[in-house]
């Protein structure tokens, strides 16, 4: 049952896809009426011991939850994201595709696709999830495009809206560019944007 004080035994449910691995002491809570009635988990996920998926969450395919990774209610986690040990994601936050959440992180804003973030008060942006992208077969050219996007978004003096406009003007339409733009433009909580240091052209 969902850990929601307004739950009154309604007939809500959990939908779980194929090829998932659930290790010891996992908790998955079904949805609530006010949240749409469903908690959904995709295919091929690996959920390590003591992970928790709260009510009304949407979890994509091929994700990795390391020990005690925790989602509050109504969280969305997109495909190939990794949430490291003892990290918590606040209600209604979104984790983009191929994002990496470092250990002991408290996420209260949305995490842009392909990004690597970690920390508490504040959570900082640590660059591109380059290792994860290479493992998934991203080419060097494709990674370079994402690095250009991140340079404009995280290391310029532009605000988020201005950075998106600059990305659209400087980078041709493509799967990865459009994924980042769509994610930002649909964000309701705002994105984690504070970088951990200055831009390093040779990093990653």
Q: Which two tokens stand for residue 45?
A: 């996920």
Q: Is 55 a catalytic residue?
A: yes
What span, in angstroms and rounded, lies between the C-alpha atoms of 204 and 201?
Answer: 9
Q: Which two tokens stand for residue 54?
A: 């709260």
Per the CB < 8 A criterion, the answer to whether 179 and 103 are in contact is no
Beta bridge partners of 22: 47
What span, in angstroms and rounded, lies between the C-alpha atoms of 189 and 10?
Answer: 29
From 72, 73, 96, 132, the catalytic residue:
73
From 4, 29, 45, 55, the catalytic residue:
55
Cβ neighbors of 52 (< 8 A, separation 6 or more) are 26, 27, 28, 68, 69, 70, 71
Q: Is 18 a catalytic residue?
A: no
Three-class DSSP category at 1: coil
Segment (H or E) for 183: helix 175-185
CA-closest candidate to residue 99, choices 72, 75, 125:
125
CA-closest candidate to residue 112, choices 19, 30, 190, 199:
190
From 4, 56, 110, 176, the catalytic residue:
56
Q: Is 148 a catalytic residue?
A: no
Active site positions, annotated: 55-56, 73
């Amino acid at each position: 049952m969902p850990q929601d004080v307004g739950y009154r035994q309604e007939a809500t449910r959990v939908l779980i896809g194929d090829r998932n691995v659930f290790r010891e002491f996992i908790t998955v809570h079904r949805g609530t009426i006010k949240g749409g009635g469903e908690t959904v988990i995709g295919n091929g996920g690996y959920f390590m011991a003591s992970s928790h998926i709260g009510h009304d969450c949407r979890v994509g395919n091929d994700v990795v939850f390391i020990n005690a990774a925790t989602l509050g209610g109504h969280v969305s986690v997109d495909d190939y994201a990794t949430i490291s040990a003892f990290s918590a994601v606040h209600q209604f936050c979104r984790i983009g595709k191929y994002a990496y959440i470092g250990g002991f992180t408290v996420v209260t804003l949305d995490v842009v696709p392909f990004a690597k973030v970690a920390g508490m008060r504040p959570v900082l942006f640590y660059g591109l999830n380059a290792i994860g992208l290479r493992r998934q077969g991203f080419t060097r050219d494709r990674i370079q495009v994402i690095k250009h996007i991140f340079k404009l978004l995280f290391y310029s003096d532009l605000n988020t809206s201005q950075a998106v406009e600059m990305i659209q003007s400087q980078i041709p339409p493509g799967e990865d560019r459009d994924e980042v733009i769509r994610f930002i433009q649909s964000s309701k909580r705002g994105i984690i944007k504070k970088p951990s240091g200055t831009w390093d052209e040779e990093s990653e």
